[in-house]
Amino acid sequence: MEGLKKMASEETYNDTISEKVITKKELKKIMFRSYLLQSSFNYERMQAGGWTYSLIPGLKKIHRDKEDLALSLENHLQFMNTNPQLVTFMHGVIIAMEESKESPKSIQAIKTALMGPLGGIGDALFYLTVLPIAAAIGSQLSLEGNILGPIVFLLLFNIPYMAAKIGLINLGYKMGVKAISVLSESTKKLSRSATIVGISVVGALIPKSVQLTTTFVFRLKDTKLDLQTQLFDTIMPNLLPLVFTLFCFIMLKKGRTPIALIIFTVIFGLLGSLIGII
């Protein structure tokens, strides 16, 4: 224990000789273990447990000195939080640094520097783009009575997820610390592009996913005006579905819960139908 405390204060490993010992076998093990990144999630260190567990096959191969291995594990058990889909890129970078016997302090600094950019890119790419697209397509198929709806949803989300995990761990390992400058330059552009694509696709699916028309006809003496066909459709087809979707979006931004909006939608539909306006 005293030896470990001494090493921690010196921020260096006993064995500083670097060797190329990591193979595709270790990278593959790390990649598969990364699926458990959030299995021990907590609000003190968040993903630290799952992150460290993922790295163990590589760290054991690199650090044959038990004190070095203990120091490395202790270092990786510090706070960790990033996007689960892109985390293998960070695994690759960090395992390359460990293999080069970089100091624990430097490794922790790089890990901290990568968390934010990867979190931003990953959340925009998967949760604001891939997930909404997959959910919209899958739910539309389900609404049409197609049994493949849930299967299509799972495939559309998980195939890119798995492809990212496999490809990024190898890319991160090859790039090493050079990844920092690349991510710093492209984070905002990638996040913005992914968000725009996701919003565009979801917007295009609104007419199929949201059905809202009015049957109200305005009458004045011998004149009658069908609000749906003669007014709303001439302004813009599917105007009411768009307005209702934007209303729900604004309510969510103001803190209303999805459950509250579902209840409101049911009540609005029932009352509108009874009154005869929808």
**Per-residue pLDDT tens over the stretch 180-237:** 666 656 656 666 766 676 677 677 777 777 888 888 777 777 777 777 777 787 788 8
Predicted confidence at residue 2, as pLDDT, reads 46
Residue 18 has pLDDT above 90, yes or no: no
Residues contacting residue 236 through CB under 8 Å, at least 6 positions apart:
242
Comparison of pLDDT for 21 and 197, the residue scoring more: 21
Helices (H), 210-277: 233-235, 239-253, 258-275
First to last CA, the chain: 74
* Separation CA 149–CA 138 (nearest Å): 4
- Residue 117, CB half-sphere, CA atoms under 13 Å: how many? 19
25 pLDDT band, cuts 50/70/90, is very high
**Position with higher pLDDT, 28 vs 237:** 28
pLDDT tens-digit map of 73-95: 999 999 999 999 999 999 999 99
Q: At CA 168, angle to CA 165 and CA 171, rounded to 5?
A: 155
Token digits for 258?
């999805």
Per-residue pLDDT at 212: 84
Tokens of 113: 């520097």
Contact 153, 139 (CB under 8 A): yes
Q: b/e string for 237-254 if b means 16 or more Cβ within 10 A? A: ebbbbbebbeebeeeeee
Average pLDDT, the chain: 84
